[in-house]
Chain A
Amino acid sequence: MSSPILKLIAQRIALGILLLLAVSVLIFAGTQILPGDVAQAILGQSATPESLANLREQLGLNQPAYIRYFHWLGGVLTGDLGTAMSSGQDIATSIKERLWNTLFLAFWAAIVAIPLAITLGLIAVRYRNGWVDKLISGVALASTSFPEFFIGYLLVYFFAVKWQIFPGISTVYDGMSFLERMQAIALPATALTLVVLAHMMRMTRAAILNVMQSAYVETAELKGLSAFNVIRKHAFPNAIAPIINVIMLNLAYLIVGVVVVEVIFVYPGMGQYLVDHVTKRDVPVVQAVGLIFAAVYISLNIIADIGAIVANPRLRHPK
């Protein structure tokens, strides 16, 4: 590990932090774009002047936008996400458990999806242009056209209602055993897996194919290496970077899928929390949750970039 590569990584992280700041501005601005008054929009036309004034006070609308932004940002940086307007509860406290629930769900979906996608991708490359490859590609193409809720409700319809194997509503509570919890998330995790699987598989296939067609793989074959060793010693080290990239991109995609999947299965996670409060027009909650989603998304992208930097021999061993 040499210093130029550390410098590159540091640069990438600094850029990510800058981007996150810019995103916080964007999210804050996104909730201020209404031509009229936010308080008016939230309460509707029938609002009394007193309630409007109260709400303005509560939202700090009497202050200019940039002051409110810095106030909000200061809070976020010290872990204070404000209070929800609809329930008066502290947002950070409400989020804590939901964030954990969401990460638990996404984690298990990823644990299944990543090895499965890479294996299927490898199979598709191994039997390139054969019927297995065509079948996998065809199914993948079709399933990218499926909305998340179609996959979700199909699962519910068959596995929960017709065959009654898994619960159709994922209730989780404190003190649940690990197995109970796993059973509860079985269907949403499967739905999430299917949502990202096709995409991840297609991109893995393309990445591996690209490496397999390079001249150095031919060199290895012409040295008499077995097919397995060609892949292990020569293709794999060069495929790491693109595959990390594919995985991270799709994990980022997964955190979008989680919003819909949580709503389908009434799973108490961040996604459902966000949608609930968008409907209630609870701006502080939407800002906080939106920022957290964006932060996760940006972090995954940074990890992908760092992975690509570390896996690149040209950067690891400069001239």
Chain B
Amino acid sequence: MADTKTKPVQPKQGLLLDIRNLRIEATVYPPGGEAPKTITLVHDVSLTLEKGKVLGLIGESGAGKSTIGLSSMGYGRGGVRITGGEVIFNGRDILKGGKEGFRKLRGREVCYVAQSAAAAFNPAHRLMDQVVEATLLHGTATRAEAEKRAVALFKKLSLPNPETIGERFPHQVSGGQLQRVMTAMALCSEPDLIVFDEPTTALDVTTQIDVLAAIKDAIRDTHVAALYITHDLAVVAQVSDEIMVLRHGRLVEWGGTRQIIKEPRQEYTNALVSVHEIEHQEQKPSATPFLSVKNVTAAYGGGHVKVLKNVSVDIYPGQTLAVVGESGSGKSTLARAITGLLPPEQGSVVFDGRTLGNRLSDRPKEDLRQLQMIYQMADVAMNPRQTVGTIIGRPLEFYFGMNGRERDRRVTELLDEIEMGKGFIDRYPAELSGGQKQRVCIARSLAAKPKLIICDEVTSALDPLVANGILKLLLNLQQVEKVAYLFITHDLATVKSIADSIAVMYRGEVVRYGLKSKVLAPPFDAYTDLLLSSVPQMEIGWLEKAIRGRRMASAGN
């Protein structure tokens, strides 16, 4: 596809969007009053899109995919400016049209669906007023016609009470529904192109599949073209005709969906495609678990909100128990109950044959040492005013009384174990990348030489390739240190890569529990079936198959 970069500038027939040699820059203002800097976000990217086709833009954070998507509307967020190239839409270069030109284009020819509809809807206005606003503004229909069209779209997008949902305010509607209302809003003015900017990323996995299917049907039936932006290759494979892979604001590879996911030509694309393929042989449980959660019930707000109901699980030495569930399933609360941060109302946690104190303050130092924790947001899990050396060294001092050179030597060893060098010992967390921060947190927990590390969504905030590196590291460390993991996640792909046994949680209860091979093999209970069938697979046609085979509606509806 390199030839598009060199083609002469002339209008092409059948092309809706033709972006040529796009260059986008931004001015950043570093804190502390230093001089503003100009950085280049997009380097010389070209793409074309035909009428009625869907192009997926994929890449990790900082790849410039949203920036490119918004450039088709002539829009730059914050200090972002288009400084070079052409954006030819419906046969004219929109960058030459000025403000007036953008206004005529936006909301009429190109519409936008944001990642968080909850933030993108104005809290002060009713949904219907916002849905028909662009249509009325551009005068393409009367209010009555526009509202009729909106109701029809609500129906098409399977929203409940399509006749009346428009009367509501944004905060009165759930996240998955809002995302569909926003899609209806984009479709209402019958544009030629819709930019979908990670429209399902913020949703739970079982809600995502419904929204995805609704979007796909709507695109098919209205013949609108789309730029579909996401970091999830399996998602984009369901909706797009072509996929463009971006990295650091440059084009990596561009091709048909089948070619990209089956025969990637670039190494980077290949890495994205095979990101979840970690081989992990399931271990059989040994005779006795070293930690047992026995019939634990826990609640917040003085017993009003029950978040854990009669939960029992066992953890075996050197093995991984994955706890899977969607938001609100109680999986993180289970971690808080085990660590003593949330004393259970009933039940107990048994460790090495004795019952652990319910409260943190009831537990001796030695018990605390044996259970370590790693958090989702590594940024806030480390004191920003302490160096890496202090962060990793403190457990050594605190539990083992190591000091001076002995401590520093051990810190260096641990840095080696997490594949970071000695040079990091004097760095502050703000000077590390996201993956490095999480590695330091892993080193800090390893420093205590625990029997169990609780990993709470440790890879959720990371880009797929970085997350993959963290998972591999955790598996290697398990071999070396013989440590057990309680791995809390919403992501079933991660579970398959790392778990020995699995507990599926739903609304505070464990609905399915056992060896990985057993849990992931049929026959399934209704919820596990829904959960498993909702995880996007990197194959064309998966979405239709999954929707057809479902037995239970997801909670988001």
Binding site for B on A (CB under 8 A): 129, 214-216, 218-226, 233-234, 237-238, 313-314, 317, 319
Contacts and interface: CB of A to CB of B under 8 A. Distances in A.
A224 B77 contact: no
B77 A218 contact: yes
Nearest to B116: A215
B112 A237 contact: no
Interface stretch (B122-130, B260-268, B409-417, B450-458): B122-130
A314 to B, nearest CB: 5
B313 to A, nearest CB: 35
Given A317-B172, A319-B172, A224 B123 contact: no
11 contacts: A214-B119, A215-B120, A216-B121, A218-B77, A220-B133, A222-B112, A224-B102, A313-B169, A313-B171, A314-B123, A319-B171
A238 B122 contact: yes
B119 A226 contact: no
Interface residues of B, number: 31
B134 interface: yes
B119 A215 contact: yes
Given A224-B104, A224-B108, A224-B138, A218 B120 contact: yes
B112 A219 contact: yes
Contact of B103 (A224, A234, A237, A238): A224
B119 A223 contact: no
A225 B111 CA distance: 12
Contact of A221 (B106, B122, B130, B171): B106
Given A225-B137, A313-B171, A220 B122 contact: yes
B166 to A, nearest CB: 14
A237 B125 contact: yes
B290 interface: no
A238 B119 CA distance: 13
B107 interface: yes
A240 to B, nearest CB: 9
B137 A222 contact: no
Interface in B156-192: 168-169, 171-172
Given A314-B171, A317-B172, A319-B171, A222 B107 contact: yes
Contacts of A223: 106-107, 111, 133-134, 137
Nearest to A222: B112
A233 B73 CA distance: 21
B203 interface: no
Given A129-B29, A216-B121, A234-B124, 17 more contacts: A214-B119, A215-B114, A215-B116, A215-B120, A216-B122, A218-B120, A219-B114, A222-B106, A223-B107, A223-B137, A224-B106, A224-B107, A224-B138, A233-B125, A313-B123, A314-B169, A319-B172
Nearest to A227: B99
Contacts of A317: 168-169, 171-172
A216 to B, nearest CB: 4
B119 A216 contact: yes
Interface string B89-108: 00000000000001111111
B75 A222 contact: yes
A261 B435 CA distance: 59
Nearest to B133: A223
A221 B75 contact: yes
B410 to A, nearest CB: 46
A220 B123 CA distance: 13
Contact of B123 (A221, A238, A319): A238
A238 B124 contact: yes
Interface of B: 29, 73, 75, 77, 102-108, 111-112, 114, 116, 119-125, 130, 133-134, 137-138, 168-169, 171-172
Contacts of B125: 233-234, 237
Contact of A222 (B111, B116, B121): B111
B74 to A, nearest CB: 10
Contacts of B73: 222
Contacts of A225: 103, 107, 133, 137
Tell me what chain A mostly uses at the interface: helix, strand, loop, or mixed: helix
A253 to B, nearest CB: 28
B423 to A, nearest CB: 37
A222 B107 CA distance: 6
Contacts of A218: 77, 114, 120
A50 to B, nearest CB: 64
A75 to B, nearest CB: 45
Contacts of B29: 129
B137 A237 contact: no
A69 B213 CA distance: 72
A36 B108 CA distance: 80
Given A222-B75, A319-B171, A313 B111 contact: no
A222 to B, nearest CB: 4
A4 to B, nearest CB: 14
A317 B112 CA distance: 27
Nearest to A215: B119
Nearest to A317: B169
Nearest to A226: B103
A214 B170 CA distance: 15
Contacts of A215: 114, 116, 119-120
Contacts of A129: 29
Contacts of B168: 317
Q: Quick one: which of A129, A220, A237 has the most chain B CB within 10 A?
A: A220
Contacts of B108: 224
A166 B114 CA distance: 58
A237 B107 CA distance: 21
A253 B46 CA distance: 57
A214 B121 CA distance: 10
Nearest to A217: B122
Contacts of B130: 219
A224 B137 CA distance: 8
Contact of B122 (A234, A314, A319): A234
B124 A237 contact: yes
Contacts of B134: 223-224
B122 to A, nearest CB: 4
Contacts of B124: 234, 237-238, 313
A229 to B, nearest CB: 8
Contacts of A233: 125
A175 B254 CA distance: 85
Contacts of A319: 171-172
A234 B114 CA distance: 17
A97 B168 CA distance: 51
A219 B121 contact: yes
Nearest to B114: A215
Nearest to A236: B124
Contacts of B77: 218
Contacts of A237: 122, 124-125
Contacts of A220: 122, 133
A238 B105 CA distance: 26
Contacts of B137: 223-225
A291 to B, nearest CB: 38
A317 B171 CA distance: 9
Contacts of B102: 224
A227 to B, nearest CB: 8
A148 B4 CA distance: 67
Instruction: Enumerate the 6 nearest inter-chain pairs by beta-carbon distance, A residue then B residue, closest first.
Output: A223-B107, A224-B107, A224-B106, A215-B119, A237-B124, A223-B134
A208 to B, nearest CB: 15
B191 to A, nearest CB: 11
Contacts of B169: 313-314, 317
A226 B103 CA distance: 7
Pick the most buried of A219, A220, A238: most chain B CB atoms within 10 A of its CB: A219
Nearest to A240: B124
A225 B133 CA distance: 9
Contacts of A224: 102-108, 134, 137-138
A237 B124 CA distance: 7
Contacts of B106: 221-224
Give the one of A214, A216, A234, A313 with max B CB within 10 A.
A216
